[in-house]
Amino acid sequence: MAPDPFFKALSQLYPPERLLTQAVQLMAYESDALTAFRARPTAVVLPTTQQEVIDTVRLCHAHGVPFVARGSGTSLSGGSLPVENGIVIALNRLNRILKLDPEQRTAVVEPGVVNLHISEAAAPYGLYYAPDPSSQSICTIGGNVAFNSGGAHCLKYGMTSNHVLGLKVVLADGEVVEFGGESAEGVGVGPDLVGLFVGSEGLFGVALEITVRLMPVVERYRTVLAAYDSLERAGDAVALVVASGLLPGAIEIMDRLAIKAAETAVHAGYPANAAALLIVELEGEAAQVEQEFQQLLPVIEASGATEVRVAQNAAERATIWKGRKGAFSSVGRLSPDYVVQDGVVPRSRLGRALAEIDRLSRAYGLDVANVFHAGDGNLHPLILYDGKQPGALEHAEALAGEILRLCIQLGGSITGEHGVGMEKRSYMPELFDAVSLETMRAIRRQLDPQEIANPGKMFPGGEAPALALHGMHPLEKAGVISRE
Amino acid sequence: MNEKPTSITAVQEFIQSAPGTVWLRGGGSKPALSTPANGATALELGGLSGILEYEPAEYTFTALAGTAVADVIAALAENGQYLPFDPLLAEAGATLGGTVAANTAGSGRFRYGGVRDFILGVRFVDGRGQLVRGGGKVVKNSAGFDLPKFFVGSLGRYGVLVELTFKVFPRPQAFQTVRAAYPDLAAALGATFRLAQTSLEMDAVDLLPQEGRCALLLRVGGLAAVLPERAARLRQFLQAEAGAGETAVLAEDDDAQLWQAANRLAWAPPSAAVVKIPLAPKQAPALDARLGSWARRYTCAANVAWVAAADTAVLHQTLCDLGLVGLQLTGQAADPILGQRRGASLARRVKQALDPNAVLGMEV
């Protein structure tokens, strides 16, 4: 338990309705979208101003109390899992859009602003905020910054980090620092501190103000759906598209099991009996995209597709994406439980990775559905299991671990966009040598000497709550959020 | 002891036994950054050269940090690919490591982003001579702290870059440039503000104040078949606006020459010190009003100013007054950072972790 003086000070900072300490109030914050982990914090605070966040962090620092900053809790890696002897700083109420400048294509927002709300605010000016994680209707920009979130459209314009220009943060010891700004060049002179902070998984401190760049709304999309009689053929088609010199906005693949799940749940009308579906989307200025489309079609037609469909209007495009984006939550209809991995392999090794995942799936006797960002080699194998059977979760986790090792062996990474968090930290020593990991830890200690900011994440070791089965996130079950 | 190492191990050994402060130098194309301070030892990295891995289908390559940017551009061009951030001073011998350390992207960075948006992985030797890795070799990766991005702009003060991995893109088939003449910077800037709210895609947006007028240069890249149509549309948009003077679409040769000249900073008089200044476009008029007759160019729709300063002390004061920061690239400099830095206390803490004995470069 945290010392009493700490709580006394905390209660002077917050009115009772914004300082949650009752078990029934705390339960809602026990886990994030990775429901296998659960931990009850000693308190949850709901700041409404930046100063309250700063004061809270300073209080935590003075008393050595760990804190976890959290938005909507959609992390898939346990990144916003609370610490049992610490507090949660829930930032959803710190959600003002402070400035939106369409002429400079920038917006300054607070961390609790929902990702999609930025695009909605920018829409009247013909602009939008590009990174589009599948949970974008509820996930907050603060969480996106902490975990460098991605989405289906990262191929051309990158992830969260490529869209953040400036930050005001409170470091774990209470110092407030500002860097970068409204220039599209970001920090521009001196080391890229914005780049360092984005994706630091909350281990440095809390972002208070985020300057993002906005992009012009896409004038023309051309979305092609192609069916294949084998996953390998779909993979080969990706290589052909890439070799043609085109730069699509998104290249996605779903395998048979994922297609079945999507059909069952959202009736996307995908071609029946396909072993794999490929989605290629071109985006940009109309004249250019139409010309690219004329190049793309023969490439797809020559790729051995059994059926090719082209979205004729926005509604047809939306249907194609609805099946893809809802694939994860749809899998919930085929299986009581699943775990999802987020490994990355070089694009040319996709075929090998998928063949190996198939072999592992049979060896473990567990079905694996594959939905992935083929354009950037970012796999999302969903391992299906029945949590009611003793040892089933551990068995599924073991298979997931083998897939992560496979990604490392093939020259890739253990995470493309979900972050290391709680879930993948034990694999960090396999991805990074000891000196590199120790160097990252040394940076962390310089910025957070007491290691009180989101402790236990990213780095291996430390106290980890036991894996426990809690099923799908309620919002995920309802189809409100989904895993990419 | 080797002052021009040809292996990563030799760099480590040099740093481990460094006699004092070590100054890094790649191709020497940015002398204000690479000329050692008094008493410092120069570590030449040009010997650490060569492309290690390049699979065009991956859109990535890995090279030693001393590799000349020009060599990389040539290798990529053979496969119809390019570095979209348009590394500056390629012809003058800039290296990959120097381009990352100085964060020098050219006009072409407007379309897809700067150095930070294309760097994927880094290996560096820290101040104790340890070899450290950050990032990876795949185009999407969020494992561990993003050290590759941190090293963009690091100026040789946090580690010696020895190996770098970049993302690349297919090179547009052809380019065209539309030029418009405005009475002044504010008018040209106004045109870019209105363009910002359209879906027109440009590869470069430069503003060039000259002799009381301001040229706006818009470069468009893409498939050759529709390029004339796109350039015409852009020109039409500008002509429909009040205040736009003469507009023209440049011939293909003129287009290539224009942007090559921009890449080698040909607009700046050789005797002046070229300073890079990141800024918000709306800060440009206030800066411009203080620059007198010095040559200058605004790239990336005036998100970056480049000033050929005859007196860097005067420019330093100007930048302090305006709350801006600048980096001197050419000429001689006691401290190449001019004006007001932001986030220095955070940078100092990272320095403490990476180079606790302050072996590398100047203080931060």
Query: Last residue of a domain, which of B153, B170, B187?
Result: B170
Structurally, at CATH architecture level, domain A97-216 sits in: 2-Layer Sandwich (3.30)
Residue B197 lies in a domain: yes
Token pair, residue A292, equals: 């690219």
Strands A368-372 and A276-284: unpaired
Give the residue on B whose Cα is nearest the Cα of A241. Answer: B57
Does the beta-carbon distance from B327 to A347 stay under 8 Å? Answer: no
Q: What is the pLDDT of residues A269-305, one digit of tens each?
A: 899 889 999 999 999 999 999 999 999 999 999 999 9
CA distance A243 to chain B (A): 6
Residue B182 β-bridge partners: B214
Cα distances (angstroms) measured from residue A147 to each of A227, A338, A402, B275:
33, 22, 23, 34
In this structure, are B156 and B209 located in the same domain?
no
Q: What CATH number has the domain bearing residue B201?
A: 3.30.70.260
Contacts of A179 in chain B (CB under 8 A): 342-343, 346
In this structure, are B18 and B110 located in the same domain?
yes
B137 in Cβ contact with B62 (< 8 Å): yes
Does the beta-carbon distance from B280 to A182 stay under 8 Å? Answer: yes
Cα distances (angstroms) measured from residue A145 to each of A38, A87, A114, B20, B322:
23, 20, 12, 39, 29
Token pair, residue A370, equals: 């594959």
Radius of gyration of chain B (CA): 21
Q: Which of A189, A417, A418, A447 is the mutation pick for testing B, counting most B CBs within 10 A?
A: A189
Which residue in A104, A162, A413 is closest to B138 by CB distance?
A: A413
Q: Residue A390 CB: number of other CB atoms within 10 A?
A: 8
Per-10-residue mean pLDDT of chain B, 364 residues long, equals 85 94 96 92 96 95 98 98 98 98 98 98 98 96 96 98 98 96 95 95 96 94 97 94 84 93 96 97 98 97 98 98 98 95 95 97 85
**What number is the average pLDDT over the span A48-76?**
96
* Averaged pLDDT score across all residues of chain A: 92
Q: What is the pLDDT of residues A139-162, one digit of tens each?
A: 999 999 999 998 888 889 999 999
Q: What is the pLDDT of residues A355-387, one digit of tens each?
A: 999 999 999 999 999 999 999 999 999 999 998
A97-216 matches A335-447 in fold: no
CA distance A56 to chain B (A): 20
Residue that has been written with the tokens 């080797």 in this structure: B2
Q: What confidence score (pLDDT) does residue B1 get?
A: 43
Backbone angles phi, psi at B132, to 5 degrees: -120, 145
Q: What confidence score (pLDDT) does residue A462 get?
A: 62
Residue B213 lies in a domain: yes
B247 in Cβ contact with B233 (< 8 Å): no
Contacts of A155 in chain B (CB under 8 A): 139
| CA torsion through residues A330, A334, A339, A345, sign | negative
Question: Using 50, 70 and 90 to split pLDDT, how confident is the model at A25?
Answer: very high
Residue B361 lies in a domain: no
Does the beta-carbon distance from B154 to A218 stay under 8 Å? Answer: no
Backbone angles phi, psi at A308, to 5 degrees: -125, 130
d(CA A375, CA A358): 20
Question: Using 50, 70 and 90 to split pLDDT, how confident is the model at A473?
Answer: low
Q: Which residues between 185 and 204 in chain B have a beta carbon less than 8 angstroms from any beta carbon of chain A?
A: 193-194, 196-201
The boundaries of the domain holding residue B254 are 174-263
* Cβ neighbours for B74, distance < 8 A, ≥ 6 positions apart: none
In this structure, are B285 and B220 located in the same domain?
no
Does the beta-carbon distance from B196 to A104 stay under 8 Å? Answer: yes
Residue that has been written with the tokens 């987020």 in this structure: A342
Share of chain A above pLDDT 90, in %: 80
Residue that has been written with the tokens 């006691």 in this structure: B334
Instruction: Give the CATH class of A4-92.
Output: alpha beta
Does the beta-carbon distance from B154 to A191 stay under 8 Å? Answer: yes
Contacts of A431 in chain B (CB under 8 A): 136, 143-144
Give residue limits of the domains in chain A.
Answer: 4-92, 97-216, 220-330, 335-447
Q: What confidence score (pLDDT) does residue B281 get?
A: 98
Exposed (0-12), middle (13-18) or buried (19+): which is B352, by Cβ within 10 Å?
A: middle
In this structure, are B90 and B141 located in the same domain?
yes
Report yes or no: B116 at the A interface, CB cutoff 8 Å: yes
A430 in Cβ contact with A348 (< 8 Å): no
Give the residue on A whose Cα is nearest the Cα of B327. Answer: A189
CA distance A101 to chain B (A): 10
Does the beta-carbon distance from B346 to A179 stay under 8 Å? Answer: yes
Question: Using 50, 70 and 90 to split pLDDT, how confident is the model at A463?
Answer: very low
In this structure, are B229 and B285 located in the same domain?
no
Q: What is the pLDDT of residues A304-351, one digit of tens each?
A: 999 999 999 999 999 999 888 888 778 878 888 888 899 999 998 998
Contacts of A189 in chain B (CB under 8 A): 103, 153, 276-278, 325-327, 337, 341
Q: What CATH number has the domain bearing residue B37?
A: 3.30.465.10
Query: Last residue of a domain, which of B152, B170, B188?
Result: B170
Residue B363 lies in a domain: no
Report yes or no: B97 at the A interface, CB cutoff 8 Å: no
Give the angle A20-A80-A474 at the CA atoms, nearest 5°. Answer: 80
Q: What confidence score (pLDDT) does residue A329 get?
A: 78
Residue B63 β-bridge partners: B51, B164
In this structure, are B227 and B240 located in the same domain?
yes
Q: What confidence score (pLDDT) does residue A3 get?
A: 53
Q: What CATH number has the domain bearing residue B294?
A: 3.30.70
A356's enclosing H/E stretch is: helix A350-364
pTM score above 0.90? yes
In this structure, are B234 and B120 located in the same domain?
no
Q: Which residues between 21 and 80 in chain B have a beta carbon less than 8 angstroms from any beta carbon of chain A?
A: 55, 57-60, 80
Query: What is the domain count for chain B?
Result: 3
In this structure, are B225 and B111 located in the same domain?
no
Read out DSSP for B136-193? -SSS---SS--HHHHTTT-TTSS-EEEEEEEE-EEPPSEEEEEEEEESSHHHHHHHHH
Give the residue on B whose Cα is nearest the Cα of A240. Answer: B57
Instruction: Give the CATH class of A335-447.
Output: alpha beta
A46 in Cβ contact with A66 (< 8 Å): no
- At the topology level, CATH places domain A220-330 in Alpha-Beta Plaits (3.30.70)
Q: What confidence score (pLDDT) does residue A480 get?
A: 53
A25 in Cβ contact with A44 (< 8 Å): yes
Strands A127-128 and A215-216: antiparallel
Which residue in B116, B225, B344 is closest to A192 by CB distance?
A: B116
In this structure, are B29 and B110 located in the same domain?
yes
Give the residue on A whose Cα is nearest the Cα of B278. Answer: A188
N- to C-terminal Cα separation, chain B: 27
Contacts of A440 in chain B (CB under 8 A): 134, 144-145, 147
B52 in Cβ contact with B350 (< 8 Å): no
pLDDT exceeds cutoff 80 at A481? no
Report yes or no: B266 at the A interface, CB cutoff 8 Å: no
B245 in Cβ contact with B180 (< 8 Å): yes
- Cα B267 versus chain centre, distance: 16
Read out DSSP for A329-353? HHHTTT-SEEEE-B-B--GGGHHHH
Does the beta-carbon distance from B140 to A284 stay under 8 Å? Answer: no
A427 in Cβ contact with A413 (< 8 Å): no
Does the beta-carbon distance from A415 to B141 stay under 8 Å? Answer: yes
In this structure, are B304 and B158 located in the same domain?
no
Strands A276-284 and B22-25: unpaired
d(CA A158, CA B85): 14
Q: What confidence score (pLDDT) does residue A185 get?
A: 97
In this structure, are B247 and B332 located in the same domain?
no
Q: What confidence score (pLDDT) does residue A477 get?
A: 57
Q: What confidence score (pLDDT) does residue A404 get?
A: 96
3-state SS class at A482: coil
Exposed (0-12), middle (13-18) or buried (19+): which is A359, by Cβ within 10 Å?
A: exposed
DSSP letter at A415? Answer: B
Report yes or no: A49 at the B interface, CB cutoff 8 Å: no
Residue that has been written with the tokens 């085929």 in this structure: A334
Long-range contacts (CB closer than 8 Å, 24 or more residues apart) made by B244-249: B244/B180, B244/B181, B244/B182, B244/B191, B245/B180, B245/B181, B245/B182, B245/B183, B245/B213, B246/B180, B246/B181, B247/B178, B247/B179, B247/B180, B247/B181, B248/B178, B248/B179, B249/B176, B249/B177, B249/B178, B249/B179
Report yes or no: B223 at the A interface, CB cutoff 8 Å: yes
Which residue in B116, B170, B199 is closest to A217 by CB distance?
A: B199
How many residues appear in chain A? 484
Report yes or no: A125 at the B interface, CB cutoff 8 Å: yes
Q: What confidence score (pLDDT) does residue A474 get?
A: 53
Q: What is the dihedral of CA A317, A323, A329, A331, to 10 degrees?
A: -170
Give the residue on A whose Cα is nearest the Cα of B105. Answer: A185
B243 in Cβ contact with B194 (< 8 Å): no
| CA torsion through residues B222, B225, B228, B229, sign | negative
Give the residue on B whose Cα is nearest the Cα of A152. Answer: B140
Q: Return the closest-CA partner of residue B103 out of A181, A188, A182.
A: A188
In this structure, are B22 and B159 located in the same domain?
yes
Q: What is the pLDDT of residues A246-270, one digit of tens each?
A: 999 999 999 999 999 888 888 888 9
Q: Residue A431 CB: number of other CB atoms within 10 A?
A: 23
Q: What is the pLDDT of residues A384-438, one digit of tens each?
A: 999 899 999 999 999 999 999 999 999 999 999 999 998 899 999 999 999 999 9
Q: What confidence score (pLDDT) does residue B260 get?
A: 97
